Amino acid sequence: MAPSRDMTRKLSVICAITRTHQPDMRRLVEDTNIPETTVKRIIKALRDDYNMDIAFVRDSASAPAFAQAGKRGRYGYYAIYQWGLFSKEEVTRACADLPRGPN
């Protein structure tokens, strides 16, 4: 039985975060071919429904000067710190079978 479209999209976002070094939102959208608002909704669902610890890590080192001056912005990347209900090993195997950019 094939996974639902919703589950495929969730897996796609998880895979994009794990495949890419310090992925920002722009990169997640590009890698998954999923709209930004949907990616944000998926990340929230993964946190809330699957107890994953997906953090947005602020990266002032790569931000312009105004961000380095302490102003908040969209500069940073996503990282998975806890896998919640998922097994990292199982997800890694599933990512190997998942093509990049599903809708």
Note the pLDDT tens digit of each residue in 11-54: 999 999 999 899 999 999 999 999 999 999 999 999 999 999 99
pLDDT tens for residues 63-91?
Answer: 554 455 554 556 889 999 999 999 999 99
Q: Give the domain ranges of the chain.
A: 5-96
Give the per-residue pLDDT at 38: 97
Give the per-residue pLDDT at 58: 86
Give the per-residue pLDDT at 23: 92
Which of 21, 101, 16, 14 is closest to 57 using CA atoms?
21
Give the per-residue pLDDT at 102: 46
CATH architecture of the domain 5-96 equals: Orthogonal Bundle (1.10)
Please identify which residue in the block is written with the tokens 């990347």. 77
Cα–Cα distance for residue pair 77/25, rounded to 1 Å: 7
* Secondary structure class of 18 (helix, strand, coil): helix
Query: pTM for the full model?
Result: 0.81
Cα–Cα distance for residue pair 49/100, rounded to 1 Å: 24
